[in-house]
Chain A
Amino acid sequence: MNGDSVTPITEGLFTVADGLVRLIGSQCADCGTIAFPRQFSCPKCTSVEVTERLLARRGTLWSWTIQCFPPKSPPYAVDDADTFEPYGVGYVELPGEVRVEARLTEADPDRLRIGMPMELTLVPAPGGAGGGCQGGRPPVASTARGVVTYAFQPVEAEWGTEQ
């Protein structure tokens, strides 16, 4: 996905570098602890010597669930129960870095398992691209000319058995 044509849901959460989306985290200069989103003090050692760090794009699914009912709005961006599609949510462990909470592109519980390889992508943000969650379908570039957020997708879908 070409990040230039889309609007991030908020500044400072992710960036697109060399055509690839990266999450913006932070790392403590004193103890090395990595956090997401970017922090300005270290949650472990309390140091304020914390710098920005782009996080790994791939990891493994640490846990997951499917959000089966429409969240209340606010804070959810969409307030239309009629068009709601269940969506996946999980924590993806980025090796040696941190476990990141994210929407998943996959909403079929039979296609999610702990430990499966996952890769970062962008999806239309709820309410930001003319209609909520894309359910189990991967995002289509032409629908993403609006507000986007980050998500993780199973690597197998595109990359076979790689990793």
Chain B
Amino acid sequence: MSGDDVGIIGAGIQPFGRHPGVTGLQMAVAAARAALADAGVSWPEIDFAAGGSDAAGNADTSVAMLGLTGVPFVNVRNGCATGGSALTMAHAMLRAGSADLALVVGFDKHPPGAFNPDPEDWGLGRWYGETGLMLTTQFFAMKIQRYMSEQGISSATLAEVAAKAFRNGALNPNAWRRKPLTATEILASKMISHPLTQFMFCSPGEGAAALVLARGARLRGSSRPPVLLRSVALRTRSFGSFEVFSPSIAIESAPSPTAVAAAAAFEAAGIGPTDVDLAQVQDTESGAEVMHLAETGLCQHGEQEKLIASGATEIGGRLPVNTDGGCLANGEPIGASGLRQVHEVVLQLRGEAGARQVPGRPRVAFTHVYGAPGVSACAVLSR
């Protein structure tokens, strides 16, 4: 551990799922208190905070419940990358020496059913929504449809990804979907958007996650097993990448924000994809996990068909992926998912993941989120 190191010394989560009568902000406060307790830190000691939700309010209003300490608190609203963006800011503040102890929190609370964003919030005309094009589900379906034809990925592989998620979710007491489903059941479920069936998609849901980050003496003096945040990188889309909510895309292609952010995170960490012992990648649908595995550099394009069939991405495999069940088993509270991923790898690197613990004392972990309209945050962590 060096003087520049930033580490995670506390992690807290509220169960994902549905919580009638509980507000998103109440979940955020509960997750924050859990992270503080885990770290052995009191709220007045926190000297920087960042967080957000997409649809459940402003994170900084949580100070009314946590305590009015005057802490600088930045609200983040960055789609599915909200948690990763909050983490990026906290990391930068600590690295700059502008804070010693930071709290990040992500939370959300969505009604059942697909998201229904307002086109004008995304710089698009009303016609785009009125004519039925403003759906994230369509984007993911068309992206994997194209990818399957180019890379030889089968529907059976999409089903296997979802089956793994529900198997892992069954081992996670904080997951929403805890009933294992077979690949046959997943393939036979209702078609949502070809080639993706109902159980290949995550559902908008509710939940919250929080982390306490530290540097310097506060990191070295922590009583918790240290987990270093080796790097975090945030990128938006480049010209030529294929992104959600795009009425048109360029014919020339460019690497996705996922690919650019992942490469930047690995470079900054001085750690390569082959060093990763477990990963959390955005799996808003099962095709996303397949594509993101290659975009992040964790495998080659086209390799996924064999990799997944071999069991490599299972908890006992060579590269366990989405060990807590991912978005598929936890649902997608937009603001919370990115920090849920980091919460999970913190537990795994500490050896505290219980029934879903990756064997062999994993040392290096990677997390990745992707969100509309083309934003990604990736992090490399190690113990």
Chain A interface (Cβ < 8 Å from any Cβ of B)? 9-10, 13, 25, 33, 35-37, 43-44, 62-69, 71-77, 87, 89-91, 93, 96-101, 103, 109, 114, 125-127, 133, 149
Minimum-distance CB pairs A-B, first 5: A75-B129, A72-B116, A65-B141, A63-B146, A77-B130
Q: B143 contacts the other chain (Cβ, under 8 Å)?
A: yes
Shortest C-beta distance, A75 to chain B (Å), equals 2
With A99-B250, A101-B248, A133-B132: A89-B142 Cβ-Cβ less than 8 Å: yes
Chain B interface category by residue count:
35 or more
Docked-complex contact A125 and B114, CB < 8 angstroms:
no
Docked-complex contact A103 and B130, CB < 8 angstroms:
no
Binds A, one of B119-127, B179-187, B349-357: B119-127
Docked-complex contact A71 and B114, CB < 8 angstroms:
yes
Interface centre among A91, A109, A133 (most CB of B within 10 A): A91
Residues of A within 8 A of B119 (CB): 75
Chain B, residues 38-65, CB within 8 Å of chain A (1/0): the string is: 0000000000000000000000000000
Residues of B within 8 A of A66 (CB): 191, 193-194
Contacts beyond the supplied A44-B240, A71-B134, A126-B131: 13 A-B pairs with Cβ under 8 Å: A9-B130, A44-B250, A63-B143, A64-B145, A66-B191, A67-B138, A68-B193, A75-B116, A75-B119, A91-B249, A109-B194, A114-B145, A126-B130
Docked-complex contact A69 and B114, CB < 8 angstroms:
yes
Shortest C-beta distance, B63 to chain A (Å), equals 33
Docked-complex contact A71 and B132, CB < 8 angstroms:
yes
Q: How far is the CA of A2 from the CA of B135 in the complex (A)?
A: 31
Docked-complex contact A65 and B248, CB < 8 angstroms:
no
Docked-complex contact A10 and B249, CB < 8 angstroms:
no
Q: B192 contacts the other chain (Cβ, under 8 Å)?
A: yes
With A67-B193, A69-B114: A36-B248 Cβ-Cβ less than 8 Å: yes
Chain B's closest residue to A94 (CB) is: B251
Residues of A within 8 A of B118 (CB): 74-75
Residues of A within 8 A of B128 (CB): 75
Docked-complex contact B133 and A89, CB < 8 angstroms:
yes
Residues of A within 8 A of B239 (CB): 33, 43-44
Q: How far is the CA of A25 from the CA of B133 in the complex (A)?
A: 18
Shortest C-beta distance, A55 to chain B (Å), equals 9
Q: How far is the CA of A105 from the CA of B138 in the complex (A)?
A: 16
Residues of B within 8 A of A103 (CB): 131-133
Shortest C-beta distance, B196 to chain A (Å), equals 8
Q: How far is the CA of A133 from the CA of B130 in the complex (A)?
A: 12
> Which B152-167 residues sit within 8 Å CB-CB of chain A?
none
Residues of B within 8 A of A99 (CB): 248-251
Q: B149 contacts the other chain (Cβ, under 8 Å)?
A: yes
**B191 CB contact (under 8 Å) in A68, A114, A127:** A68
Residues of B within 8 A of A87 (CB): 132
Q: How far is the CA of A13 from the CA of B250 in the complex (A)?
A: 18
Docked-complex contact A90 and B114, CB < 8 angstroms:
no
Shortest C-beta distance, A98 to chain B (Å), equals 5
Q: How far is the CA of A105 from the CA of B46 in the complex (A)?
A: 57
Residues of A within 8 A of B114 (CB): 69, 71-72
Q: How far is the CA of A76 from the CA of B247 in the complex (A)?
A: 16
Residues of B within 8 A of A125 (CB): 127, 130-131
With A63-B145, A90-B142: A76-B129 Cβ-Cβ less than 8 Å: yes
Chain B's closest residue to A71 (CB) is: B132
Interface centre among B127, B134, B146 (most CB of A within 10 A): B127
Docked-complex contact B131 and A77, CB < 8 angstroms:
yes
Q: B20 contacts the other chain (Cβ, under 8 Å)?
A: no
Q: B21 contacts the other chain (Cβ, under 8 Å)?
A: no
Q: How far is the CA of A38 from the CA of B132 in the complex (A)?
A: 20
Docked-complex contact B132 and A13, CB < 8 angstroms:
no
Q: How far is the CA of A59 from the CA of B39 in the complex (A)?
A: 58
Q: B117 contacts the other chain (Cβ, under 8 Å)?
A: yes
Shortest C-beta distance, B182 to chain A (Å), equals 22
Shortest C-beta distance, B121 to chain A (Å), equals 10
Docked-complex contact A37 and B247, CB < 8 angstroms:
yes
Shortest C-beta distance, A135 to chain B (Å), equals 13
Docked-complex contact A100 and B145, CB < 8 angstroms:
no
Q: B246 contacts the other chain (Cβ, under 8 Å)?
A: yes
Chain B, residues 183-224, CB within 8 Å of chain A (1/0): the string is: 000000011111100000000000000000000000000000
Can you give 6 A-B contacts (C-beta < 8 A)?
A65-B142, A74-B129, A75-B128, A99-B248, A101-B248, A126-B132
Residues of A within 8 A of B129 (CB): 71, 74-76
Q: How far is the CA of A93 from the CA of B251 in the complex (A)?
A: 7
Shortest C-beta distance, A125 to chain B (Å), equals 6
